[in-house]
Amino acid sequence: MNIQFLGHAGLGVGTREGTVLFDPWFGGAFQAAWWPYPSNQLLLPSLGEAGVRAIVLSHAHDDHANVESLKMVPGVPVVIPTYPSSRLREKVMGAGSRKVVELRPWKEYTIDGMTVFFVPESSAAHDSAIVVRLGSCVLLNMNDARLSMRQLQSIKARVGEIDVLALQISGASWHPMCYPQYSAEEAEAISLRKRATKFGFVADAIKVVSAKTVIPFAGPPCFLDPDLFDFNWDKMFPTQEEAAVWLGKQGASGVEVMLPGDKWDVLSRTKQAHPFWGDFSLSGDRRWYLEEYARDCQTRMKEVLGRYPRPNQNVRDSFQKYLEKLSGMSPYFSGKIGMRVGFELEDTGEAWAVDFCAGGISKALKDCGYWLRFDSKWLGAILTERIGWDDLLLSLRIQLGRDPDAYNEHLIHLLMCAGDRASLQAIESLEKKLASSARETMCVQTNGVWYRVPAQCPHRGHALGPHMVEGGMLTCPGHGYRFDLKRDGRCVNTPSCAALQVAEVQEAGEEI
Ligand code: FES
């Protein structure tokens, strides 16, 4: 098996007849806010020469399923996972007529002797890992999927030894960057905490998978818009080199940092570096490189941003109806959100507050527990579903605030799944199942006290272990949520997450 790194989360794997591309992304994403770092434009002239046989996409986010990039390889069949939402399929169809193959979880599909199958995250709503088998070689392309350690063990049980594990090492979030309520020091501390959580998850996954080679990838992106340029230095976005150094200190071996065009021969475990890069360093002084990159992409960026004019009054009036529909989409989600949420247009000052407790919409923002402020130019695109809320949030061209300072995950899910009841239903079903299922328990000790706790996280079901407990807190590696064992196991990140069922016990595990 030969793997070529295409930049960001893109991989090209050679088959007998040509190449299969995985999540190819060659330009701006999220309304030209994100760009691959470093640039992978050098690969474009040879893209067609590789004889692209199929494209495999993991999920709908723009840096993985990118319409402009798909258009560069017209007519090539695309293989995607089945999700409750039709969004990914529609996106692919929007990139030109072609065969689209949708695969249910774990269902295998063969292209030129290469077998692929998808393993979705436990909620089955958003992200999927891709398992690739060719001859005796196995690649586990986890990209952004946060699979549980049990799922990773199940993959190994199916395919045996894994040769190459490729996985995301850099966060992708708008928190804390888009929250003006934080001081610079507070924001940096949050970003560092998120980075540590991400690295911790990556280290655990590497241990369980025990692949011969690990390719850290799928980030960081870079931000070339002058309004976003400073985010390039946010601590949440470590480079692959920084991740490799950290992983080396944890004892991980076989970690390979790849640059666009680099090739990896899986059997001989040798890298053929692309000569273009010379002594380029991802973590060196990036400013000069990014400034030049931004100049090169300026015209393209302007053209993309020009597609989003500020709307007329009619569109703004439609927003109220949209919010009414949104607030009535799921009683379960409305109950979990449980607060007033404000939406404010920064250029016109118009505002709407949706009351997810009592129902109704008002024009006064007071008593909102969460608020979002953005330019009206994004409104028309959201109402016509040209972009989703996740596209706007990930573009970082938005400001948010919250009081109390706790993540309202159900609000963010409702926005990200707006118009898509099936995805909301999938999350609701999983949460209800996790809350009601009889679970294994374990005893853990912290600060001299023993507790009996479930062996599975109430959030998305990741396996928990005694080593995750410190200072009275249990931190789940899945998404980094922390549960306070002294305060009834409540989740300190988000009140809408069910608490961990905690009971104080004697050392032998007897109830007190
Ligand atoms: S599974 Fe998400 S924090 Fe535990």
pLDDT score at 512: 47
My answer on whether 405 and 482 are in the same domain is no
My answer on whether 32 and 133 are in the same domain is yes
pLDDT score at 317: 86
My answer on whether 15 and 92 are in the same domain is yes
Q: Provide the residue range defining the domain that includes 418.
A: 313-427
pLDDT score at 343: 97
My answer on whether 151 and 201 are in the same domain is yes
My answer on whether 378 and 295 are in the same domain is no
- Position 460 confidence tier, pLDDT thresholds 50, 70, 90: confident
My answer on whether 244 and 349 are in the same domain is no
182-202 tens-digit pLDDT? 999 999 999 999 999 899 999
Q: Is 371 in the pocket of ligand 1 (CB under 6 A)?
A: no
CA of 456 to the centre of ligand 1 (A): 9
CA of 406 to the centre of ligand 1 (A): 15
The domain tally of the chain equals 3
- Give the CATH number for residue 349: 3.30.1050.10
My answer on whether 75 and 117 are in the same domain is yes
CA of 462 to the centre of ligand 1 (A): 6
Q: Is 87 in the pocket of ligand 1 (CB under 6 A)?
A: no
- 453 and 464 Cβ atoms separated by less than 8 Å: yes
Domain end among 301, 324, 357: 301
Query: For a pocket test of ligand 1, which of 204, 462, 493, 494 has the largest count of ligand atoms closer than 8 A to its C-beta?
Result: 462
Residue 188 lies in a domain: yes
My answer on whether 464 and 366 are in the same domain is no
- Give the CATH number for residue 138: 3.60.15.10
Domain end among 427, 452, 468: 427
CA of 481 to the centre of ligand 1 (A): 6
Residue 432 lies in a domain: no
DSSP 444-512: EEETTEEEEEESB-TTT--B--GGGEETTEEE-TTT--EEEGGGTTEESS-TTSPPP--EEE-TTS-B-
Domain end among 427, 450, 482: 427
Strands (E) located in 29-136: 35-36, 52-56, 78-81, 100-103, 109-111, 114-120, 128-134
Residue 458 lies in a domain: yes
Q: Is 462 in the pocket of ligand 1 (CB under 6 A)?
A: yes
Percent of the chain with pLDDT over 70: 98
pLDDT score at 436: 78
Query: For a pocket test of ligand 1, which of 122, 433, 459, 493 has the largest count of ligand atoms closer than 8 A to its C-beta?
Result: 459
**What is the pLDDT averaged over residues 218-237?**
96
Residue 306 lies in a domain: no
Q: Is 482 in the pocket of ligand 1 (CB under 6 A)?
A: no
d(CA 283, CA 120): 32
Region of poorest pLDDT, from 5-9, 459-463, 486-490: 459-463
My answer on whether 290 and 320 are in the same domain is no
Is residue 264 classed as helix, strand or coil in its secondary structure? strand
**What is the pLDDT averaged over residues 376-399?**
95
266-318 tens-digit pLDDT? 999 999 999 999 999 998 889 999 999 999 999 999 999 999 999 988 888 89
Q: Which atom of ligand 1 is nearest to the CA of 480?
A: 3
Q: Is 458 in the pocket of ligand 1 (CB under 6 A)?
A: no
Residue 482 CB partners (closer than 8 Å, separation 6+): 473, 474, 475, 476, 491, 492, 493
24-45 tens-digit pLDDT? 999 999 999 999 999 999 999 9
My answer on whether 222 and 135 are in the same domain is yes
Mean pLDDT of the chain: 93
My answer on whether 152 and 204 are in the same domain is yes
pLDDT score at 206: 97
My answer on whether 254 and 361 are in the same domain is no
CA of 461 to the centre of ligand 1 (A): 6
**Distance between alpha carbon 85 and the CA centroid of its chain, in Å?**
17
Residue 512 lies in a domain: no
pLDDT score at 438: 57
Residue from 140, 114, 110 nearest 128 by CA:
140
Q: Is 481 in the pocket of ligand 1 (CB under 6 A)?
A: yes
Q: Is 468 in the pocket of ligand 1 (CB under 6 A)?
A: no
